[in-house]
Structure 1
């Protein structure tokens, strides 16, 4: 029995501890999977290219960036927060990492520099939210402008070219026929699933998002938990940026535009509640694949990009209505 459960029983702060028992694959995830299957059926009937192996691998690879961002966003949302700065965090991480690579710094150190940059941005957000008592929306909205400005100032507004072929070869390579970005995000997802479902820290995140005051009474380190989830979000944003840098062969300070929208959409489709205390790693992955499949299918049908943005917005609203309805029944 964990410390949170022991303290909960001693203080009697919660009527039920069901929030401590997330499942690997629940009914909400099953509904998301059904939605994905429906999209696959519709687009395969409209365009036979959709279900070909190359196109499916392309969908997975394109979805890997959003999935990486969305996994970090999911942890933030479960804790009761929001991170609007993931796009600019990715941008500044990318330009720092690219600058180090072009300068001839060994690849492991350059990658580490990019990761540290992303984690630092997340830590800055988390400290202001957890210890200064500021609202996540306001802090990360400020971070959205701040980190974007720093990326533009750092590069003079110009992209950084000359990414080493060694790095590009790794990112664009395959492992057992599966693109490396997909494998990378898959490994990250497994680790995060274990953290959320099988560790005390996962219980802390759910507790803070479910009822922050009761969690504090139960002995949960609320401030430290908040700082950690925002640091995680920043770190995963930097991982996503490195994937894109490897694919494009350049780092653009304007990259990551509207990434926060896609990440929130994937998490919401996957069952994460913007009220906090509820979310799923599996659901978020399915949500990211749904968005990637939808855009891929619409592109194959020559549907213009702004209609794809419209579809994303509608999906977010529908996901929120479903969440509201299920919470009402609960």
Structure 2
């Protein structure tokens, strides 16, 4: 069983440009208001959905609102085959994330987090005995008081031998004290088996040290492997056993990149689980060819997510058939 811990929220994703100024659908003064599509999201939530769709046994650990958005979030988990018996419930509203998507499909977010349900997560105590991996990341590790509870789970499960996977997925707008956030991140590394992050995250966390060099420094503090996502330049991994492997991105259409990194994170864990490699020792023993296969699988899964709007990760059967850009005319 893989347990994914962290926030569930709703992304508000712009759908298309609004009409001409001073027409219905525009703000006073003529500023266009594009229609917004509510989309279930949140980094850990997307990872759980992606794992469920790929066929991994997975449980979600979070605190979810009882409001209508919260009910939709739980319904989508169930539809993906994700177990929700570890989910706590609250009467507070669901966190909202307003997405701004640029011409290349990259998204930036404005978050509405005050008084929301997920940040009041409480430590549930030891996880079920069949837990083989624990995945954490994103807002849940920043927003108190829930952040301290998630950190307690991370430390306890790592101490009892569970493989821990961390994706910090930094949102600088929500960080009041960057230096304290970086120190806290460094404190997680001795308890982290697999660290996955984007190049942008790596630069922010390392104060602009080149991502490859930062990855090697972090390996010295605990992780068995550090996977970097490089956008259109693909994926790379550096390991504590000295290996370094790169694979290219899968070319194809890009609707947006929402959920692409979360899909990579899920695909890595899924492939490791399929091969019974969910342990620090197993990660340390993987060869170059093993990592190439795992990273290529993750890149392929991310390409499917990028090809459609919102965080909509692929199902297992979609990765068993050619992608549209794989086909020759």
TM-score (norm 1): 0.26
**Which of structures 1 and 2 has the larger relative contact order (alpha carbons within 8 angstroms, sep 6+)?**
1
Higher share of residues assigned helix:
1
Higher share of residues assigned strand:
2
TM-score (norm 2): 0.26
